[in-house]
């Protein structure tokens, strides 16, 4: 039986198309995936992301525990509320999960992990906790999560929750703030501004309705995927997994190899230079780029990890794992339905804050 979020009844009331997503019953769309995508780029949309799991790491040993658990360096988190994106690696440098960690105070951190990996993440964290003193790991299954994204997202959140504005108005990018039982993050996954709100599960339907009344449209997994692809953000299980290191999928910037700090997987990363890199692709002919399609370059073959039609750019785009010698602005061939079609390599992200970042591809005005 599929797990349901506290907002399942609200999704049904809006006639959402519900699908199995990693064992959860989740909305794919509420009628038009394209309209939901454009709403987030131009106005404000909201996603139920309650399937993701917040994990609280408490105790005097919390920072030392996360120092060795994560590839990025939590010592960069010195100001309460600051957030950090990181990968959690296995001993061979493969990615167990990508996550966000928030520094709350001297004894508290909050880690947000992906739904499909949550149980394995907890087992891995618990197995490594034995090396750290005075640490408590608490999965917060009592919380729901809503992500409200778009250029008007924060304004509409304050319309729905006016009393929260004083506590959240000065919140910077990649920071979080606690407001009573509510937790506001400003990290995003769409290339747009907004808030991610964690709150007691019982209060989620009321907030959902208040946001609807404020003019925030619901958006499903379909729009979330095209938005994150335009923003050049990896999807776990598709662009990366435990057989891929961060150095192979464009996430070198999330790995701290310079400091003397040791972490799980560091020695493996130092011993093995990357065999591949991640680049963006834009299709130059009619067709749609999809994951697992083969890419032929002048220096060997690669593979698309994520691909789709971009509503903002009105073009087909992809992330592809290619030989390390391939440069941007090169012409490559992609095998689509037994035909080799031309694409060009580009630096991603493709879109940020509603605007095209790719030369020759203006933002769609639809």
Predicted confidence (pLDDT) per residue in 199-210, tens digit:
999 999 999 999
Tell me the pLDDT band of 60, cut-offs 50, 70 and 90. very high
pTM score of the predicted model: 0.96
Q: Are 27 and 17 in contact (CB under 8 A)?
A: yes
What six digits make up the tokens of 298?
Answer: 């002048």
Q: Which CATH architecture has domain 1-272?
A: 2-Layer Sandwich (3.30)
Hey, how many other C-beta atoms are within 10 angstroms of the C-beta on 43? 16
Integer Cα distance of 122 and 227 in angstroms: 28
pLDDT at 272: 87
What six digits make up the tokens of 48?
Answer: 């139920």
Domain spanning 276-366, CATH class = mainly beta
The alpha carbon dihedral of 287, 292, 296, 299 has a sign of positive
Q: Using one digit for the tens of pLDDT, what is the confidence trace for 10-51?
A: 999 999 999 999 899 999 999 999 999 999 999 999 999 999
Tell me the pLDDT band of 366, cut-offs 50, 70 and 90. very low
What SS3 state is found at 58? strand
- What is the crossing angle of helices 118-129 and 62-69, to 10°? 120
Write down the domain spans for the chain: 1-272, 276-366
Q: Using one digit for the tens of pLDDT, what is the confidence trace for 116-136?
A: 999 999 999 999 986 656 899
Bridge-partner residues for 221, per DSSP? none
Tell me the pLDDT band of 273, cut-offs 50, 70 and 90. confident
How many helices (H) and strands (E) the chain has is answered by 9, 22
pLDDT beyond 60 at 365: no
């Amino acid at each position: 039986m599929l797990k349901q979020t506290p907002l399942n009844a609200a999704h049904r009331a809006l006639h959402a198309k519900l699908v199995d997503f990693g064992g959860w019953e989740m909305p794919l769309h509420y009628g038009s995936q394209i309209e939901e995508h454009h709403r987030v780029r131009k106005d404000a949309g909201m996603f139920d992301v309650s399937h993701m799991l917040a994990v609280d790491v408490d105790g005097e040993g919390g920072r030392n525990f996360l120092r060795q658990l994560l590839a990025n360096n939590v010592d960069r988190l010195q100001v309460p509320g600051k957030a950090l994106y990181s990968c959690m690696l296995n001993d061979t440098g493969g990615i167990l999960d990508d996550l966000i960690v928030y520094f709350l105070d001297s004894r508290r951190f909050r880690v947000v992990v992906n739904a499909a990996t949550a149980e394995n993440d907890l087992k891995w964290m618990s197995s490594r906790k034995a090396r750290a003193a005075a640490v408590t790991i608490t999965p917060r299954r009592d919380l729901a999560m809503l992500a409200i994204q778009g250029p008007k997202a924060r304004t509409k959140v304050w319309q729905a929750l006016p009393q929260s504005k004083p506590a959240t108005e000065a919140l910077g990018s990649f920071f979080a703030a606690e407001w009573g039982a509510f937790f506001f993050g400003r990290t995003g996954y769409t290339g747009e501004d907004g808030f991610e709100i964690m709150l007691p599960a019982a209060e989620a339907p009321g907030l959902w309705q208040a946001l609807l009344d404020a003019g925030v449209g619901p958006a499903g997994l379909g729009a979330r995927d095209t938005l994150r692809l335009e923003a050049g953000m990896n999807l776990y299980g598709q662009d990366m997994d435990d057989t891929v290191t961060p150095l192979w999928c464009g996430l070198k910037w999330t790995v701290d190899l310079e400091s003397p700090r040791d972490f799980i997987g560091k020695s493996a990363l130092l011993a093995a230079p990357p065999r591949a890199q991640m680049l963006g692709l834009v299709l130059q002919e009619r067709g749609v780029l999809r994951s697992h399609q083969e890419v032929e370059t002048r220096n060997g073959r690669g593979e698309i990890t994520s691909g789709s039609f971009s509503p903002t750019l009105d073009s087909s785009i992809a992330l592809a794992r290619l030989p390390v010698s391939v440069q941007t602005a090169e012409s490559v061939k992609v095998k689509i339905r037994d035909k080799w079609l031309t694409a060009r390599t580009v630096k991603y992200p493709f879109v940020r804050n509603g605007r095209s970042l790719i030369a020759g591809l203006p933002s769609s005005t639809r």
